Amino acid sequence: MCGIVGFIGKDNGVEFLIDGLNSLEYRGYDSCGIAGIVDEKTKVIKTVGRIKNLEELTSEDLVFNIGIGHTRWATHGGVNKTNSHPHQSFNERFTLVHNGVIENFSELKEEFLSDKKMISETDTEVVVQLIEVFAREGLSTKEAFLKTISKLHGSYALCLIDREDADTLYVAKNKSPLLIGLGQNCNYVGSDALAMIKYTNKFLEINDGELVTVKADSVLIEDKNGVKIERSPFTPNIKYGEIDKGVYEHYMIKEINEQAFAMRNIISEYFDGHDVKMDQEIIDAVKEADRLYVIGCGTSYNAGQMSKEYFEKWAGIPTELHLASEFAYNLPLLSKKPMFIFLSQSGETADLRAVLTKLREVNPTYKVLVLTNVDASTLSRESDYTLLLHAGVEIAVASTKAYTSQIAVLSILAYQVAKELGKAPNLDLEKELSVVTTAIESILDDTKEIKELTDKLFTERNAFYIGRGADYYSSCEAALKLKEVSYIQTEGFAGGELKHGTIALIEDNIPVVALITKSEFDLSTRSNVSEVASRGAKTLVITLEKLAKEGDYAIPNVHETLAPIVSIVVTQLFAYYAALGRGLDVDKPRNLAKSVTVE
Ligand code: M6R
């Protein structure tokens, strides 16, 4: 993970560097720093903790016409100022920021730097020291940078400055995301477009293996043999302002509240009247597959689980779910005509990129569709097809509106595929998604009861969510949400499985929340609730109005197949209020980052 920025131009770039890092803080927030060249010397300012600490160290008269910045999610070496970026070479000529992991940094250290005592414990420092080693051999900065890169194994987005040349930023990437922003009399570098959108809406993509030389008035992209590459800029579908918290105290609660809006967007993007409006090539690719492999991580994986409900039950296409981090290294037996569906809010997740690389090696003709919230994200650019979630920018580390949007978009795709395969599901999906939207709104209209329930329920160190079928999948997501923001150890369980071992953990006051959104599971899940209640658990059932009994939390009636989109909202609010009640940093839980760009 980590976020990097760079600036070169006639004006002062300090404001951009700080703003850019603030936008990228979701990628890591252990420490941060900036560096720039002033009067032929490089000034480096670093600190442990958040960007606001860095701002306090940045005086108003600081002027950088060339500068780089970094916000860190520690991978190599502890969280301290020495390990923070930017890192400098021994003679302080070269200064570098890096996002990614250099897998062979120990070997490189052994081969080229064995007589040197490194300053930090990081893999990044080896890169900048190597550049100095090669420059001392007489290579130009560009040649030394290129030679260094040719020796690196792993993932990197790099931005380098040279004290002896205040007119150039040297930029390269492999697997880690990085974009160039085109300004007027200046240019920008950033891990994503959001970091630069306040300053420009014109961006240049960089591909793995390219070397980019950025000056105030030019950007030169070359391949590793020095051949110039022409590339047109693109404008992503985001606007400055979308990334404000608005009237909300936290991004998480803002994004929970935006779910009805996201549903409306999805309906208008993917329906034309009651007919589905979607790229026919994508529908055909899914129709032709004999098996779907749905792959994701974390919340996206949990959303993917729901795809079985739609692709298998509506369209009759066998559907397997896989965790990306497992799939890439433990390839399952693939069917004759597989189709791969990747789910990724950010479109940058390294574990999924590893799956893509693996699939391209196994069979370059395999088709990959990505469902992502980020237009022009790396996975979207590298896969065969993209379906956008249209949920609006998601900033909080805990994913909420992307989850419900992923389920909605999956349902639309499966619905259309089923229809074209002559297996039309017995519902008007456009209408039913509108009912879902209204149901979400009605929950969000009055959250007082949910807040009170949170305070009553989640008083212990542990908690459980249980359910069957789709409600089991929702339980996994509800548990992930609660644990990642409130640090309450929570498990999502298939209701019937508790008695096979885990029920041993139930003792007085342990909260067990049951999700029941399907009539067929009402009796069986309620009997699981009785089993834990009789062993002292504090229980709550979240169910549809039509199934509700006294003491349950009732959500409005919606089509049962789509009900998980609604019930999850209650559990997202539980997570939010539980974290708030504990005085935690809701938007930036400890040890996490929004976009996980390391494997
Ligand atoms: O951007 P992605 O959807 O690929 O991210 C996958 C996970 O890292 C992400 O869903 C993570 O689990 C969230 N923190 C969950 O809230």
Please tell me the distance between residue 198's alpha carbon and the centre of ligand 1 in angstroms: 25
Given this model, what pLDDT does residue 246 score? 74
pLDDT digit string (tens) for 228-248? 999 999 988 776 666 777 778
pLDDT digit string (tens) for 321-366? 999 999 988 999 999 999 999 999 999 999 999 999 999 999 999 9
Of 239, 265, 256, 337, nearest to 566 by C-alpha is: 256
What is the identity of the amino acid at 404?
T
Return the CA Rg of the chain. 25
pLDDT digit string (tens) for 438-458? 999 999 988 999 999 999 999
The protein residue whose alpha carbon is closest to atom 9 in ligand 1 is 298
Q: How far is CA 291 from the centre of its chain?
A: 26
- Report the distance separating Cα 497 and Cα 468, nearest Å: 10
pLDDT digit string (tens) for 45-103? 999 988 999 999 998 899 999 999 999 988 888 889 999 999 999 999 999 999 999 99
Is 398 near ligand 1, meaning CB less than 6 Å away? yes
Tokens 């389920």 map to which residue?
A: 407
Q: How far is CA 403 from the centre of its chain?
A: 11
The encoded tokens of residue 16 equal 């951009």
Given this model, what pLDDT does residue 501 score? 87
Cis peptide before 425 (omega within 30 of 0): no
Catalytic choice (254, 367, 401, 594): 594
Is 300 near ligand 1, meaning CB less than 6 Å away? yes
pTM to 2 decimal places: 0.79
Is 397 near ligand 1, meaning CB less than 6 Å away? yes
Is 344 near ligand 1, meaning CB less than 6 Å away? yes
- Is 594 a known active-site residue? yes
Going 486 to 302 to 444 to 446, the CA torsion angle's sign is negative
Given this model, what pLDDT does residue 305 score? 96
Average pLDDT over residues 473-483: 98
Is 400 near ligand 1, meaning CB less than 6 Å away? no
The protein residue whose alpha carbon is closest to atom 16 in ligand 1 is 398
Given this model, what pLDDT does residue 253 score? 96
The number of helix segments (H) and strand segments (E) in the chain equals 19, 25
Given this model, what pLDDT does residue 236 score? 80
Q: How confident is the model at residue 192 (pLDDT cuts 50, 70, 90)?
A: confident
Which ligand 1 atom is nearest residue 594's CA? 14
- Lay out the sheet containing 41-48: strands in order across: 41-48, 31-38, 66-72, 3-9, 186-190, 179-182, 203-205
Helix, strand or coil, per DSSP, at residue 189:
strand
Which ligand 1 atom is nearest residue 595's CA? 1
Average pLDDT over residues 504-530: 95
Are the C-beta atoms of residues 155 and 598 closer than 8 Å to each other? yes
- Report the distance separating Cα 369 and Cα 285, nearest Å: 9
Angle between helices 448-457 and 564-581 (to 10 degrees): 60
**Is residue 411 scored above 70 in pLDDT?**
yes
For residue 568, give Cα distances in angstroms to 266, 325, 403, 413, 592: 18, 25, 9, 21, 22
Mean pLDDT over all residues of the chain? 94
- Is 2 a known active-site residue? yes
Q: Which residues contact 291 (CB under 8 A, 6 or more apart)?
A: 317, 318, 319, 320, 334, 335, 337, 338, 339
What is the identity of the amino acid at 110?
E
Are the C-beta atoms of residues 456 and 438 closer than 8 Å to each other? no
Average pLDDT over residues 112-116: 93
Given this model, what pLDDT does residue 98 score? 96
Is 373 near ligand 1, meaning CB less than 6 Å away? no
Q: Which residues pair with 156 in a beta bridge?
A: 100, 175
Please tell me the distance between residue 164's alpha carbon and the centre of ligand 1 in angstroms: 41
**Is residue 282 scored above 70 in pLDDT?**
yes
Q: Is 549 exposed, middle or buried (0-12, 13-18, 19+ CB in 10 A)?
A: exposed
Q: Which residues contact 599 (CB under 8 A, 6 or more apart)?
A: 101, 155, 325, 328, 350, 351, 354
